[in-house]
Amino acid sequence: MDEQFWDERYLTRDQLWSGEPNGVLVTEVAGLPPGRALDVGCGEGGDAYWLASRGWRVTATDISKVALRRAEAAGGPGAPEVTWLHADLAVTPPDPGAYDLVSAQYFPLPRQPGHAALHGLLAAVAPGGTLLVAFHDLSEVHHDHQPDVDPADFYQPAEIAGLLDDTWEVLVNETRPRARPAPPGTGHTRDTVLRARRIR
């Protein structure tokens, strides 16, 4: 699932995602005071614009240049400002301690020996900041349409929770019904969600 994979996937449709913010993000972040946010795997920008419209200073990253071009174009005149960043976070970690919110909604972060990429993502959360990770319930995930991609090769929220040390407080670690309908044809009805606060 490299840059070419995602560019080609975006090019199969004029718009791959709904443009609306993810339900987990809206539910978990609505009550947080705005600060600096990192939107990991931002796609076409729905989450980034929602955060920015609520006062967050947003850096939105994606491995796909096609997705980033679409996201930037989707804003239009008067859209809230977002910093768009082309990056592969499995290779290049974000700035450490820089963000009050790191949000990874359905972001496929591949497992690595020593968890280097994951530790880089965790390190980006500032003390007092929030990590929010959501993924599909694996029991509902079928990869027949992408036989070379196994969802089990990527970190799941509960697994990330188990890797957090005593500098973190886990606030939410659960599987629950989706807050919003899944994309047509996917059949996803449940999300696995991790929300954790960095204590120090």
Say how many domains are in the chain. Answer: 1
Answer whether residue 15 is part of any domain: no
Please report the sign of the dihedral spanned by the C-alpha atoms of residue 190, residue 105, residue 101, residue 116: positive
Answer whether residue 22 is part of any domain: no
What's the CA gap between 184 and 144, in Å, rounded? 16
Q: Report the pLDDT value the prediction gives residue 71, as an integer from 0 to 100.
A: 95
Whole-model pTM: value is 0.90
pLDDT average, residue stretch 80-109: 95
Q: Report the pLDDT value the prediction gives residue 147, as an integer from 0 to 100.
A: 55
* Whole-number percent of the chain with pLDDT over 90: 70
Answer whether residue 190 is part of any domain: yes
Which band of pLDDT confidence, cut at 50, 70 and 90, is reported for residue 176? very high
pLDDT average, residue stretch 88-92: 89
What's the CA gap between 123 and 13, in Å, rounded? 35
What's the CA gap between 70 and 19, in Å, rounded? 10
Answer whether residue 157 is part of any domain: yes
More confident residue, 95 or 11: 95
Answer whether residue 89 is part of any domain: yes
Answer whether residue 128 is part of any domain: yes
What's the CA gap between 12 and 134, in Å, rounded? 25
Q: Report the pLDDT value the prediction gives residue 55, as an integer from 0 to 100.
A: 97
pLDDT average, residue stretch 11-30: 89
* Residue type at 72 in one-letter notation: E
Q: Two tokens at 183?
A: 């994309």
Q: Report the pLDDT value the prediction gives residue 19, as an integer from 0 to 100.
A: 78
Q: Report the pLDDT value the prediction gives residue 144, as an integer from 0 to 100.
A: 45
Summary mean pLDDT of the chain: 90
CATH number assigned to the domain comprising residue 56: 3.40.50.150
Answer whether residue 16 is part of any domain: no
What's the CA gap between 60 and 48, in Å, rounded? 6
Q: Which tens digit of pLDDT belongs to each residue from 130-152? A: 999 999 888 776 544 555 667 77
Answer whether residue 20 is part of any domain: no
The beta-carbon contacts of 145-149 under 8 Å, at least 24 apart in sequence, are 149/1
Residue 91 structural domain? 3-10+27-198
Q: Report the pLDDT value the prediction gives residue 142, as an integer from 0 to 100.
A: 56
Q: Report the pLDDT value the prediction gives residue 70, as an integer from 0 to 100.
A: 95
Secondary structure element (H or E) that encloses residue 70, with its range: helix 65-75
